[in-house]
Each structure stands twice: as C-alpha cells, then as structure tokens.
Amino acid sequence: MTRRIGWLLAVIALTPLACAPRSARRGGEGESKDDRAARVAKLKAYYGDTPQAVEEMLPRIRAHVEALAAMGPRQTGQEGCKRALEYVRAELVKAAGEKVPVTDLPNPPPVTVPLDRLSSDKLDSIGDADGEFTHIVVEGLGDRKQSWPAYALMPNSVQSCSTVPPEPPKPPGQSPDEDAQDAPAPMSLEQARRVVDIGAGTWQDLEGKELSGAVVLLDFNSMDAWLRAASLGATGAIFIEPTRTTVFQADKKYLATLPLHFPRVYLKRDHGLELRRALAADAQGKIRVTLRCRLEFQNVPAEGLELTIPGKDRSYCFVLAGHLDARSIVPDLSYGGAELWGIAELIELTRYFLTHQPNCDIRVIFVTGHWQSQRVMRDYIARGGPVHDLIRNYFKLAMAVDMVPEGRSLNLITEGPWDIQSRGMYKWLGNRLFTEGGWRDQIFDGLEVPKGEVQLLGGIRPWLSETRDGNMANRNDRSAFAFAPRYPTAEQAWQSAALPTFAFQTSRLTRLAHNTPLDRLDVADADSVDRQLRPQLRMTVRVLRHLLD
C-alpha cells in the first residue's frame, strides 16, 4: 500500500510538467549559458534573412489588400472576382519574370451562382427604367412612388425567390407564337402590399399584428423570425442593414434544402430606418411596398491560375493554394474583406520562394469557384483531371495561408470536410514541429519570439473543450477551443485524395463577420496590422523553410 501511495504522489508531482505547453520547456535541462548562447547564435544565423524578408512583405501585403478591396464584391461571376484574378496574374508575372510561366488552369468548369448586380458601380442603382436590378417601390411617402435599391438574399435551395413572372410553359412542338393569345397570363408577384414592422420578430413583436398578405420589415439581427412571419401569412421580408452582425445571424436567413418561395431583400440602413419611421407615423395605413427581386441562378466559368516554382529536387512537389472569390448571404455584397489577407500573403510568399529556391517544386494555385463546394480544386485533382495521376507520386503535401490581423499566434489547422485524417498523415509533421527541441522551439529561439505572447499550435481546432491528442499535435499543442464557423481553405480538397493538408491560420480565429455583407476591409492602423501579422508571417516562412530546405 505504501509503495502504491508513493507512486501516486510521484505522478501527481510530475503532472504540472507533463501538462505544460512544450514551448515552455524548450532548451535541454542542464544546458549551460555558453552552450545555449552558441545554439541560439547558430539558429539566428540560419534564420537571418527571415525578419528582413517579412518586413519587406508587410507593406506590399497591405497594398495588395487595399487594391483588391477596391475591386468590389467578388462572388464568382462578378466583375470584382474577374478583376482580382487579373490583378493576381499581373503580380505573379511581375514576380516570376520570364523564367516561370503563369498559366490558366485548363478547362474551367461551370459553376451555378445566384447573380444580380455584377459590378460595384451598380450597387446604388436599380438599373434601367423598368428596374433590372433588385429594388423596392415605396408608395405613401409623398406624391410620387419612390424606388430604392435593395439586395436579394441567398436563394432558398434551388428557389431564387425572383418576383419576375415566369414564362408560361409551351406544349411540346408548339411554336413560341402559336396560340399565344390563349395562354393564361402568369400571375404577377410584384404587387403593392401592406408593410408591417415586426422589429426583431419575437412573439411580443408579433402580438396583435395581422401579417396575412403583408410584407414584414425586420431587423437583420432577428435570427430566423422571417420564417415565423411566413408561417403567419406574410409574403416577403425586408431586412434593415445592421451596424454589427455575425455569421450565425446570416446563416439563419435562408433555407439550404427547402425551396420555399419567399422573397427577402436587404435594405441599406438609412432607407430602412426611414421606412420604419414612416410606418410608425402612418396612422391611416397608406404606405405600400412592392418587392422586385431580380436575383437569378446563372452558370459561369470558374477560372484559376497556376505556376510551378522549380526546386533543387524536381521529383516531388508541395502545393500552396488560395482562393480569390468571396461569398455573402447577400450575394450582391460579397466583399469577403477578411479573405483578402490570404490572397495577398500567398502572392508575397510566392515572390519569396522565387528568390529563395526551395529544395522541391512548389505548385502555387489560385482558384475561383471556391465557395461553390470547392469545384475548381476538386476538378483539378479528380480522376481524369490534369494532376490526378501525379497525386502521392509527385504531389506530397498541400497547404494554404489564412492569416489575418486579429491575433499574433499561429495554428497549422487541418480542418476539412473529409474524414481522411489518419494519425500517420500528420504525425510525421507533428513530431518535427512539437517535440522537445523541434522546429517550433528552434523558431522561437532563433527569431526571439516573445514567450507567452505568441504561440505556434497545430491540428483541428475543437468545437468543444477536449483533452485528447490530435492527429498532428498532442492535446497541449492544439489550438484552444473557439466557437467559430467551419471555414474551408483552398487546399482542403486535396485531403479527399488522402494527401496531408493544412493551412497557416491565425489561432483562435472566430470570423464572426464571415458570410455577412459587413465583412468589409478595415485597415485603420497600419502599425497594428503589422504588429499582428509580423510574428505569424515569420513563423510561417520558417516552417515552410524547414519543410522545403
């Protein structure tokens, strides 16, 4: 019994050391000051060019981000996405010169996207005299009807919720003009209707209000109250632009699998509040609104670019991938501000490795159509695709970059929609990174990363607090729990081919504005941006150099 108690006490005494993050235990026990100084000096020499290279990257990254943001919304098929593709092409050609060709991905596949306004210069317009873009017509605010620009929300499954009367079906073999006079006129959905302001859409807000046949006015931050209004007879909804919102609010504004025809539009805040004030003062109920939704599904080509940086050993290759397109619950307003940083960072990492030859080839790939189930990258690696037969023979690893100025720590994240994540796929990397004296410890010592202020972590970020080891990193080296939406990065499709994949992503990143029309670029303080990106970029460059040297 005494021996068992002694063993238990010994385990308890060692537990704090075993549970401490490994980065806190670097530097072998018994190492003299002179030995440590010599080791750190050697590491600083090895990492010598990294700080200066990152300092040169930072202003260029900010410039890229601001230039891309000025191109407007970037859903695949919109002009902003096309301009982003050409901007990246020009930057890659400038960096690569004539030695490394920048080429289009072969056979761009068609993707189906909901489109209305195609360019940013149309956002404040309703289009032609008939209103070719989504808008609302308001009656009762003066002597004349007023037409205000509005923005249709994401379709409900395959239902675009357009209010344009459909063409009547033609019997087989009937010419377009034959018996046209006998065809029944399609029912118009664009009727002036009562408007009922239901605020946040709670049961208290609905009490005593008749919604049958009416259009409801709602705060955007009302979760799925529009469905409650639809169940009570409402025919459509107008959401007022919020000052702040989250992806969780956005995801409640459409139905992914039920094709319910219920037009929903997003109204700029000044117009929305004006309508709300007018309804509050409209004692006689004269105000009427007509919803005119013009959003329709269209098939557009999803293009991409690639270049191959030649390595010293041409027998194998690593992939660095990024996506150019963005998404939003309001497709016209797909700004994807937070997604711009990854594009800019990949441009600069490409420039870096063009002048610092890696040991193996690097295939750099930029795609559109990412938010259409990663269609372009899936076709690229699929059976019959241009690189399928080279996977695992030539292509060994796929990576992406997704660092934003919302923290200083870095996570090598392995999240993916595929469950092909055996421990062996990532343990080789985890052993090199996170063991005592491994790459992380060397990076922290060689770059003098401040202890406790910056972390380098790895693996899948847990949805709930977990104590188990991950495939890449043990439990003490995993990114902390954070409730955040799954956000696929461009390399993830390669995981479906049983290739290890991960992204360099800001640790504990929540992306609360993702998929909302408020996901806009905000670079108010360049010093703050640099201060947060600097340690992330330094660690990224060094991990890549360890992999590629």
pLDDT the model gives residue 46: 83
- Decide if 9 is inside a domain: no
429 and 485 together in one domain: yes
- Decide if 13 is inside a domain: no
Per residue in 222-235, pLDDT (tens digit) is 999 999 999 999 99
Tally of domains in the chain: 2
Question: Do the bridges between strand 151-152 and strand 456-458 make them parallel or antiparallel, or are there none, so unpaired?
Answer: unpaired
- Which of 294, 321, 351 terminates a domain? The answer is 294
Question: Can you give the CATH number for the domain in which 497 is found?
Answer: 3.40.630.10
pLDDT the model gives residue 462: 66
453 and 539 together in one domain: yes
| pLDDT for 360 beyond 50 | yes
- Decide if 512 is inside a domain: yes
> Rounded mean pLDDT of the chain?
89
- Decide if 366 is inside a domain: yes
Amino acid at 5: I
471 and 518 together in one domain: yes
Q: What percent of the chain has pLDDT over 70?
A: 87
459-479 average pLDDT score: 77
pLDDT the model gives residue 114: 98
DSSP code string of 440-480: HHHHHHHTTPPTTT--EEESPPPSS---S--SSS-GGGSPP
104 and 212 together in one domain: no
| pLDDT for 6 beyond 80 | no
129 and 256 together in one domain: yes
Higher pLDDT, 412 or 183: 412
- Decide if 462 is inside a domain: yes
- Decide if 205 is inside a domain: yes
287 and 334 together in one domain: no
| pLDDT for 15 beyond 70 | no
- Which of 294, 325, 358 terminates a domain? The answer is 294
pLDDT the model gives residue 2: 47
| pLDDT for 518 beyond 90 | yes
Per residue in 443-454, pLDDT (tens digit) is 998 887 776 779
242 and 309 together in one domain: no
213: Cβ contacts below 8 Å, ≥ 6 apart: 193, 194, 233, 234, 235
**What is the distance between the alpha carbons of residues 415 and 397, in angstroms, rounded to a whole number?**
15
290 and 306 together in one domain: no
307-318 average pLDDT score: 98
489 and 360 together in one domain: yes
pLDDT the model gives residue 478: 84
pLDDT the model gives residue 24: 37
- Which of 260, 294, 328 terminates a domain? The answer is 294
Report the side by side order of strands in the sheet with 395-402.
103-104, 304-309, 360-367, 313-323, 395-402, 501-506, 410-413, 456-458
232 and 196 together in one domain: yes
82 and 138 together in one domain: no
Tokens of 60: 């260029």
317 and 218 together in one domain: no
Range of the domain at 313: 32-113+299-548
202-219 average pLDDT score: 97
DSSP type of residue 170 = P
Confidence of residue 534 (pLDDT cuts 50, 70, 90): very high
435: Cβ contacts below 8 Å, ≥ 6 apart: 22
504-516 average pLDDT score: 91
- Decide if 168 is inside a domain: no
Beta-carbon-side half-sphere exposure of residue 15 (alpha carbons within 13 Å): 7
